[in-house]
Amino acid sequence: MDGSVQLGLDTFGDITTRDDGTRVSPAQAIRDVVDQAVLADEVGLHAFGVGEHHRPDFAVSSPEVVLAAAAARTRSIRLGTAVTVLSSDDPVRVYERFATLDAVSSGRAEITLGRGSFIESFPLFGYELRDYETLFDEKLALFSQLRTEQPVTWSGTTRAALENADVHPKTAAGFPAWVGVGGSPESVVRAARYDYGLMLAIIGGSPARFRPFVDLFRRERAGRSALPVGVHSPGHVADTDEQAWEEAYPAFAQLHNTIGRERGWGPYTRAQFDHGVGPDGAVYAGSPETVARKIAATVRALGIDRFDLKFSTGTLSHAKMMRSIELFGTRVAPRVSELLAES
């Protein structure tokens, strides 16, 4: 490795708590996300992604609006999503919104498309869960045609047909697009077939077990232009390992248990967290040196081009996240480059 891996940050705009334990308003959480993007830009990180959700524990339901606000206050960082739930949206409108974001940001927009691990948007926008697979397949196929920025003729079962339809505004050079994948070989093949980068959401277990998906993606791309592979995983950076773990654990437990009550999971334990932050876990929490070494090990094991740290988790405070961003940009990123150059 030559140390050229790109490092970014992702957030879902979690509703956080202040140091006194009181929860911030959704409006404040959104303003905090914009401030976090500004700091990520200032410390030289490559990308900042904002996820789409439609539930009370996450503030951001319209990532493009938040990213446009960030675009006005940043200069270099790429601005994208983590993810856009294409299945419950209209591909034409999605493309127009991101083409607009690309203009506002002077060519810094990107998008990660996914089916969504949460289902609130489906009934909210009038879609049936029984159409979960068909919705994504058809809409991704249409979005792929829209990326050509040429008139589109398309027909399917999930929306009205298009006949020689043109979409505006046009971009200067298009924008990068990824498909977020949680572990399905079919999704890997789909991303390769439609010319999307592959973004692996690794939130549990050993990251090394995803190597077959990376290999599958590159086999599917054989003889065609190379496309990037990235990883999105949760974590938190503080000055020491012990500080990072003590700050992160309550927030991880709160979020896991909130979602777990809906999905029938057992309570989140400290033993689960400790395994996650260990060498075979998917939580990148600790001191800058610990996090850098774990990221470098993942880059080597998977041969990826980008690593995005999901730095927001549950009730973790804005102040702690800002320190995490500062350390990630000023100490983790250069150390990862050093470690990869050494190997």
Give the CATH number for residue 118.
3.20.20.30
Share of the chain above pLDDT 70, in %: 99
2 pLDDT more than 70: no
| pTM of structure | 0.97
**What is the number of structural domains in the chain?**
1
| Residue 117 pLDDT | 82
**Dihedrals phi, psi of 100, to nearest 5 degrees:** -65, -45
Say if 210 falls within a structural domain: yes
Say if 162 falls within a structural domain: yes
Say if 1 falls within a structural domain: no
Structural domain boundaries enclosing 257: 6-342
Show the CA angle centred on residue 53, arms to residues 47 and 57, nearest 5°: 105
27 pLDDT more than 50: yes
| Residue 63 pLDDT | 98
Say if 62 falls within a structural domain: yes
| Integer Cα distance of 97 and 87 in angstroms | 16
Q: What is the mean pLDDT of residues 240-269?
A: 95
Residue 114 near residue 42 (C-beta atoms within 8 A): no
Say if 297 falls within a structural domain: yes
Say if 277 falls within a structural domain: yes
Reduced to 3 states (helix: H, G, I; strand: E, B; else coil), residue 101 is helix
- Say which residue the tokens 């299945």 belong to: 87
User: pLDDT-derived band of residue 4, with 50, 70 and 90 as boundaries?
Assistant: confident
Residue 81 near residue 10 (C-beta atoms within 8 A): no
Residue 126 near residue 154 (C-beta atoms within 8 A): no
Q: What is the mean pLDDT of residues 236-250?
A: 98
Say if 243 falls within a structural domain: yes
| Integer Cα distance of 254 and 316 in angstroms | 10
| Residue 343 pLDDT | 73
Say if 113 falls within a structural domain: yes
| Residue 3 pLDDT | 54
| Integer Cα distance of 269 and 173 in angstroms | 48
- Say which residue the tokens 């697009």 belong to: 177
288 pLDDT more than 60: yes
